[in-house]
Amino acid sequence: MNSQTYNAFDSYLGKRIVIYACRFIYTGILEAYDDTSILLSDTHIIYDTGPHEGGKKAWDTVEPCWSSDWHIQIASIESFGLSPF
């Protein structure tokens, strides 16, 4: 899984990101991507972010996924960016 042309995911490879998808919010290290999915490692589901104001040290409610490596369909991604934690 990789891309020969620039993709918005390129600058996030190897970094912990947050993915807002259709029903869930995920966080993990972006390992790879292709035309249809991304692969995260050390993946967690964020059930409650808490306030988005400065000074926070962690998510309010977060649990690890059933498997450390987790694939997410690109079509379900609404937004993404670097994780603050």
pLDDT for 34-63, tens place per residue? 999 999 999 999 999 988 877 778 899 999
Q: Which residues sit opposite 64 in a β-bridge?
A: 44
Residue entry with tokens 């309010």: 60
Question: For the purposes of burial, counting CB atoms within 10 Å of the CB of 13, is it exposed (0-12), middle (13-18) or buried (19 or more)?
Answer: middle
* pTM for the structure as a whole: 0.87
Residue 80: how many other CB atoms lie within 10 Å = 19
Domains of the chain: residue spans and CATH:
12-82 (2.30.30.100)
